[in-house]
């Protein structure tokens, strides 16, 4: 048997075992664009972001299927938003770990798509999706804070707001809120994240520490909203998640002093 036939046979068996190969192809394409964006000039970075929005949005519609009010609409933007967050994060840390991030980017993008598919069909995977969206907010916060000059922190805050708006709306829809209700809760969620992001930038915290606080706020607000909807008292929720936020701020200030 020739080497070509053996290689073709092995490739066929591998592709047959991969469930939804189009998910891998889309994740690989977005990861490749993100890797190029880590080294691109500002002009080509804007081109990369535009391609990620187009490819991620159209690819999500192709893979997930037609939009329905019952499932919400933010799920079609999570993949593109994740790719943009990875691009921003990679530009901030590319000097340290460089192209080693590419496999991580591929796995994260694949995981987002797979979780969206699971939530659509089996209504499972919500916790995994929430953790991934927390990571997306962290990556976007670190990239926008690290790349924006200190005197232009408002520009970085605006960029973070645009990226974090999708995870905020997606978490609202994941809790069963749709339409105007989902948009309202998403805007409140985004407002809490933006307020903390502005505070940590005014405190001049290191980018990684500031990004961790922003991600913690995103996670805490989501948990508090879910606890209130589950019947928890407002006082207990405020004490529990407020204490978590204060603890995060104290740790950040202690790290800044070192």
Residues in the chain with pLDDT < 50? 1, 3, 6-17
Residue 156 has what pLDDT? 86
Q: What is the pTM of this model?
A: 0.81
pLDDT of 203 reads 79
In the chain, DSSP assigns E strands to none
Q: Residues 193, 137: contact at Cβ < 8 Å?
A: yes
DSSP 69-128: TTTBSTHHHHHHHHHHHHHHHHHHHHHHHGGGHHHHHHHHHHHHHHHHHHHHHTS--HHH
Contact between 55 and 113 (Cβ < 8 Å): no
How high is the pLDDT of residue 136? 93
pLDDT at 10 (0 to 100): 40
Residue pointed to by tokens 């790349």: 147
- Token duo for residue 253: 């200030």
For 91-99, which contacts have Cβ atoms below 8 Å and span 24 or more sequence positions?
Answer: 91/37, 91/38, 91/45, 91/143, 91/147, 92/142, 92/143, 92/146, 92/147, 92/207, 93/142, 94/38, 94/39, 98/38, 99/35
Reading the block at residue 6, the tokens are: 């053996």
Q: Identify which of 66, 55, 200, 81 has the alpha carbon closest to the alpha carbon of residue 140.
A: 81
Predicted pLDDT of residue 166: 93
Q: What is residue 16's predicted lDDT score, i.e. its pLDDT?
A: 39
User: Tell me, what DSSP letter sits at residue 20?
Assistant: S
Question: What tokens does 53 get?
Answer: 């929005």
Residue 72, strand partner residues: 68
The reported pLDDT for the residue numbered 17 is 42
């Amino acid at each position: 048997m020739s080497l070509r036939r053996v290689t073709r046979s092995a490739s066929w068996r591998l592709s047959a075992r991969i469930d939804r190969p189009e998910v891998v192809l889309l994740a690989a394409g977005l990861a490749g664009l993100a890797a190029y964006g880590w080294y691109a000039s500002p002009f080509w970075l804007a081109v990369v972001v535009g391609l990620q929005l187009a490819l991620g949005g159209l690819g999500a519609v192709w893979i997930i299927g037609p939009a329905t009010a019952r499932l919400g609409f933010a799920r079609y933007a999570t993949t593109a938003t994740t790719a943009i967050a990875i691009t921003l994060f990679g530009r901030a840390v590319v000097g340290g770990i460089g192209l080693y991030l590419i496999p991580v980017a591929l796995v994260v993008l694949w995981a987002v798509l797979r979780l969206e598919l699971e939530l659509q069909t089996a209504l499972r995977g919500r916790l995994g999706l929430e953790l991934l969206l927390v990571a997306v907010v962290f990556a976007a916060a670190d990239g926008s804070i690290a790349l924006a000059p200190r005197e232009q922190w408002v520009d970085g805050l605006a960029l973070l707001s645009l990226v974090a708006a999708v995870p905020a709306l997606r978490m609202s829809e994941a809790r069963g809120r749709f339409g105007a209700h989902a948009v309202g809760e998403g805007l409140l969620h985004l407002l809490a994240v933006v307020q903390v992001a502005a505070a940590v930038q005014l405190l001049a915290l290191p980018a990684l520490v500031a990004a961790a606080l922003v991600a913690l706020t995103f996670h805490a607000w989501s948990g508090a909203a879910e606890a209130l909807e589950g019947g928890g008292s407002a006082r207990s929720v405020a004490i529990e998640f407020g204490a978590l936020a204060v603890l995060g701020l104290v740790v950040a200030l202690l790290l800044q002093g070192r």
